[in-house]
Copies of this chain bind each other. A is one copy, B any other.
Amino acid sequence: MGTVDPWVSAPARIADPDEGISVDELRLAARNHGMPLEALRYDVTPPGLHYLLTHYDIPALDPGAWRLTVSGAVARPLSLGLEDLRVRPRVTQRVTLECAGNGRARLQPRPVSQPWLDEAVGTAEWTGTPLAGVLAEAGVAATAVDVAFAGADRGFERGVEQDYRRGLSLGEAMRDDILLVDEMDGRPLPPQHGAPVRLIVPGWYGMAHVKWLVEVTVLEAEFGGYQNVTSYRLKQDADEPGEPVTRIMPKALVQPPGVPDFQSRVRVVDSGVVELTGRAWSGWAPVDTVEISVDDGVSWRPAELEPPADPYAWRLWRYVWDAAPGRYELRARARDTSGNEQPVGQAWNRQGMANNHAQRVTVVVR
C-alpha cells in the first residue's frame, strides 16, 4: 500500500451544523446518481435509471481477456473465462439493490461522503451462475471461514490505497441465490454495473455486490479488509469498531404525485381522489405492511400491497388519498415479517449507513 498526503485522501468527517454540501460531496453526486423517484413506477428499473455508486473509477476490462481466479483454501484453484461461466447453470433473479449510504445527506449532523437523499435504489433482473457451484468445483477446505471478492477498481479511500475488496462468511457465500452475473435485464452488464462480471448477494446493501470481479479467495480466517473492517460499519465514534452493515433494512418510498417544481421539487397536485403508489422492500424478510401518513407522521393508515414478485424484489403498494386543498407532508413506512419496522425519525451513525428513516414528500394540493 502506498502512502499519500492527507489532502489527497483525508479521514472521514462530520459536517458542521450549518455547513452546506461541499464541492467534494458534489463531485460524487455529479458522477454517481440515484433513481429519479418517478421511476418507482417501473417493476424493473429501466437501464440507466438504476442507482449507481462507484468508489474509484469505472475500469475498462476486455471481456475476451477477463479471467476470474478462485484460489486460497481450495483443493483445485480455478481460472475461468467469461465463456467458462456462461456454459454453467444459469439463473435469473429480480433483485432490489440499495446503497448502504442512502439517506446520508438527510442526517443531522451530516457525515461527509456520497450525499444521497432518498434515491439510491433500483431493481434489475440479474442473470448468471450460482457462486456455490463454482466454489464446490474448486473444493472448499473444511477449515475455510470467509470468502473474499476483489474487483478491478483501484483507488484511495480515507488514506488507504486499495483494490475494492469485500468478504462474506462462507455460510453466506454458499447460499444458492448468490450469483456471478454477466447480464443485467437480459443484456451484457454495462461498464458501470461491473462488466463483464459482478457478484449479486440478494438482500444485502450494495457494497456486497462486488463489481468488475476478478478474484475469489477462500480464507481460513476472517477477512480483515478495509471495506468490511473500517468502512461499512455502524458506529457512533470514529474509534469504536462498530457493527458490520449487512442486509437492507425495510423501507417504503412514495412515487411523488402531481407535477414538480424544477428547483424545489415540491409537488403540485389537483384536489380530489389521488392514487398514491410506491414500492417497499427489506433484505431481511418479505414486507407485509406499508403505512401512509399525509400529515407528516402524526397519523398512519395502511396501504394495499400487491402480491410479491421475487423474494428480494420490491413490492408495489397503493393508497387512495382524497386530497383537499392545502399543504401536506407525505410519508410511508414499511414492516417486514421478521418484525423489522421502519422508523420515522433518524437513527444516526457516523458513516451514515443503513438509514431507513421515512422519506418526506412535500405536496401542495390546489
Residues of A at the B interface (CB closer than 8 Å) are 2, 4-5, 7-10, 19-34, 36-39, 41, 46-50, 52, 54-58, 60, 105, 112-113, 115-117, 119, 154-158, 161, 190-193, 256, 259-266, 268, 364, 366
Contact = CB atoms under 8 A, between A and B. Distances in A.
Contacts of A56: 259-260, 262
A30 B60 contact: no
B263 A112 contact: yes
Contacts of A57: 36, 38, 256, 259-260
Contact of A263 (B28, B49, B105, B266): B28
A262 B33 contact: no
A74 B206 CA distance: 54
A25 to B, nearest CB: 7
Nearest 3 A-B pairs (CB), nearest first? A20-B20, A33-B33, A48-B48
A355 to B, nearest CB: 14
Contact of A10 (B2, B27, B260, B264): B264
Nearest to A5: B364
Contacts of A47: 47-48, 190
A158 B261 CA distance: 8
Contacts of A26: 21, 25-26, 29, 105, 115, 117
Contacts of A4: 261, 268, 364, 366
A41 B266 CA distance: 38
Given A30-B34, A157-B261, 6 more contacts: A2-B366, A7-B264, A38-B60, A57-B259, A155-B259, A155-B261
A58 B42 CA distance: 12
Contact of A191 (B22, B46, B50, B55): B46
